[in-house]
A and B are shown apart, each in its own frame.
Chain A
């Protein structure tokens, strides 16, 4: 398995509180991604990064921000959590990116519940 860890693995938080999820990789891959997985929706891309300090939005980016100050870490922040952000969040990495036919390796996921 690719060296990807996510923390925390489970979190329960209240509406309106800020939450930061961390993705850490030991593979030195350039590309990192954050997805959310919801029943009936599959995986949807939130944000992705194509290098340190280089990020772009995905299809469901509203209410989320990201930061990547080091190659190995990609942080996802919910500035003010809402119940609609209750989901399982997956981080993924890719060495060469998808455009060149590279594949993604997924982390174990973080289950977030917003009450």
Chain B
């Protein structure tokens, strides 16, 4: 069965620090990859997605992610975080182009002002 692993459950950073959140998936075929963000008390919003083409994907709010097929990874990065980035981040995988999506367990990011 497909699965998604997010390495860090809770990350604490100071403002202006660089961010990298790890995501690995277990599926050898074609995948679509997503990062979602959930701000406190709000619903999930799409940050970025990879469907095909350039493996370096740029999303909203200065986030980017790199798809490395050989490592089954799709890590999320941001060069300089802000206090407003405090949220929970979810990696998700759609495998084999079916209609389902598997979410990771999430990473809680807390930015210190």
Contact = CB atoms under 8 A, between A and B. Distances in A.
A7 to B, nearest CB: 15
A94 to B, nearest CB: 9
Contacts of B42: 108
A13 to B, nearest CB: 22
Interface residues of A, number: 26
B101 interface: yes
Given A50-B99, A99-B94, A40 B105 contact: yes
B45 interface: yes
A106 B104 contact: no
A97 B43 contact: no
Interface residues of B, number: 24
Contact of B101 (A40, A98, A100): A98
Given A42-B105, A101-B32, A101-B51, A48 B46 contact: no
Interface of B: 9, 32, 34, 42-46, 49, 51-52, 90, 92, 94, 97-106
Given A99-B94, A106-B44, 12 more contacts: A35-B103, A41-B105, A44-B103, A45-B102, A58-B100, A90-B43, A98-B32, A101-B52, A104-B101, A106-B45, A108-B42, A109-B43
